[in-house]
Chain A
Amino acid sequence: MVAKFDLNDDSVVVIVGSGAGGGVLANELAQKGVKVVSIEAGGRYLPEDYINDEWASFQQLAWTDMRTTSGDWRVARDFANLPTWIVKAVGGTSIHWAGASLRFQDHEWKAKTTYGPISDANLLDWPIDTAEMDPWYTKAEHKLGVTRTEDRAGLPPSNNYKVFEAGAKAIGYKDVHTGRMAINSAEFDGRSACQQTGFCFQGCKWGAKWSTAYTDIPRGEATNNLEVRDRCFAVKIEHDDKGKVTGVVYIDADGKQQLQKARVVSVACNAIESPRLLLNSASSMFPDGLANSSGQVGRNYMRHTTGSVYAVFDKPVSMWRGTVMAGYIGDERHHDPNRGFVGGFEFETLSLGLPFTAAFLDPGAWGREFTSALDSYQNMAGLWIVGEDMPRETNRVTLNTDVKDTNGLPVPNVHFDDHPNDNAMRDYAYKKGEEMYRAVGATRVFPTPPYPSTHNLGTNRMSEKPQDGVVNKWGQSHDVANLFVSDGSQFTTGGAENPTLTIVALAIRQADHIAGELSKGNL
Chain B
Amino acid sequence: MTELRSRGLTRRALLAHAVVAGAAFSIGSGFVAARDAAWALEVTNLKPETMATLIQMARDVYPHDKVADNFYAIAVKGYDTAEDAAAIEAGVAALDAAAQGAGYANYLAVGWESDRVAILKGMENSPFFQTIRGGLVTGLYNQKEVWPIFGYQGESYSQGGYIHRGFDDISWL
Residues of chain A having any CB pair with chain B under 8 Å? 52-55, 156-159, 162-163, 166, 194-199, 205-206, 315-318, 320-322, 353-355, 358-359, 364, 366-368, 370-371, 374-375, 377-378, 440
| B157 in contact with A163 (CB, 8 Å) | no
| B167 in contact with A158 (CB, 8 Å) | yes
Contact with A along B49-80 (1 / 0, CB 8 A): 00000000000011110100000000000000
Residues of B within 8 A of A166 (CB): 173
| B117 in contact with A367 (CB, 8 Å) | yes
| B166 in contact with A321 (CB, 8 Å) | yes
Bound CA span A378–B63, Å? 17
| B168 in contact with A197 (CB, 8 Å) | no
| B150 in contact with A322 (CB, 8 Å) | no
Residues of A within 8 A of B161 (CB): 194-198, 206
B160 at the interface (CB under 8 A from A): yes
| A157 in contact with B168 (CB, 8 Å) | yes
| B167 in contact with A322 (CB, 8 Å) | yes
Task: Find residues 73-92 in chain B having any chain A CB closer than 8 Å to their own CB.
Answer: none
Query: Mostly helix, strand, loop or mixed at chain A's interface?
Result: loop
| A321 in contact with B155 (CB, 8 Å) | no
B142 at the interface (CB under 8 A from A): yes
Residues of B within 8 A of A199 (CB): 155, 157
Given contacts A196-B163, A196-B167, contact A53 B151 (CB under 8 A): no
| B150 in contact with A156 (CB, 8 Å) | no
Q: Which residue of B has the minimal Cβ distance to A193?
A: B163
Given contacts A162-B173, A354-B141, A355-B142, contact A377 B151 (CB under 8 A): yes
Residues of B within 8 A of A316 (CB): 151, 170
| B133 in contact with A366 (CB, 8 Å) | yes
Among the listed B150, B155, B162, which residue makes an inter-chain contact with A374, where contact means beta carbons less than 8 Å apart?
B150
Residues of chain B having any CB pair with chain A under 8 Å? 61-64, 66, 117, 124, 133, 137-138, 140-142, 146-147, 150-157, 160-163, 165-170, 172-173
Can you name 7 A-B residue pairings with CB atoms under 8 Å?
A55-B142, A159-B166, A163-B173, A196-B162, A196-B163, A317-B170, A358-B137
Q: Which residue of A has the minimal Cβ distance to B170?
A: A159
Residues of A within 8 A of B142 (CB): 54-55, 355
Among the listed A53, A198, A354, A377, which residue makes an inter-chain contact with B162, where contact means beta carbons less than 8 Å apart?
A198
- Known contacts A353-B154, A366-B61; 15 additional CB pairs below 8 A are A159-B170, A163-B170, A195-B161, A197-B155, A197-B156, A317-B170, A318-B153, A318-B166, A320-B153, A321-B166, A354-B147, A358-B140, A366-B62, A377-B151, A440-B173
Bound CA span A199–B162, Å? 11
Number of A-B contacts (CB under 8 A): 114
Shortest distance from the beta carbon of A271 to any chain B beta carbon, whole Å: 28
Indicate the member of A355, A368, A377 with the most B CB atoms within 10 Å. A355
| A198 in contact with B63 (CB, 8 Å) | no
Given contacts A321-B166, A366-B62, A371-B63, contact A195 B160 (CB under 8 A): yes
Given contacts A322-B162, A368-B63, A378-B150, contact A198 B170 (CB under 8 A): no
Q: Nearest 4 pairs between A and B by C-beta?
A: A195-B161, A378-B151, A52-B155, A197-B161
| B152 in contact with A321 (CB, 8 Å) | no
Indicate the member of A198, A199, A359, A378 with the most B CB atoms within 10 Å. A198
Q: Which residue of A has the minimal Cβ distance to B140?
A: A358
Residues of A within 8 A of B160 (CB): 195
Residues of A within 8 A of B140 (CB): 358
| B156 in contact with A198 (CB, 8 Å) | yes
Residues of A within 8 A of B172 (CB): 315
Bound CA span A196–B64, Å? 30
| A195 in contact with B163 (CB, 8 Å) | yes
Residues of B within 8 A of A320 (CB): 152-153
| B167 in contact with A159 (CB, 8 Å) | yes
Shortest distance from the beta carbon of A460 to any chain B beta carbon, whole Å: 35
| B152 in contact with A375 (CB, 8 Å) | no
Shortest distance from the beta carbon of B69 to any chain A beta carbon, whole Å: 15
Q: Which residue of A has the minimal Cβ distance to B130?
A: A364
Q: Which residue of A has the minimal Cβ distance to B61?
A: A366
Indicate the member of A156, A318, A377 with the most B CB atoms within 10 Å. A318
| B165 in contact with A321 (CB, 8 Å) | yes
Given contacts A316-B151, A378-B151, contact A52 B157 (CB under 8 A): yes
Q: Which residue of A has the minimal Cβ distance to B66?
A: A375
Residues of B within 8 A of A159 (CB): 166-170
Bound CA span A137–B2, Å? 59
| A321 in contact with B173 (CB, 8 Å) | no
Q: Which residue of B has the minimal Cβ distance to A357?
A: B141
| B150 in contact with A321 (CB, 8 Å) | no
Bound CA span A230–B162, Å? 34
| A377 in contact with B154 (CB, 8 Å) | no
| A53 in contact with B154 (CB, 8 Å) | yes
Shortest distance from the beta carbon of A341 to any chain B beta carbon, whole Å: 31
Bound CA span A353–B146, Å? 13
Residues of A within 8 A of B124 (CB): 366
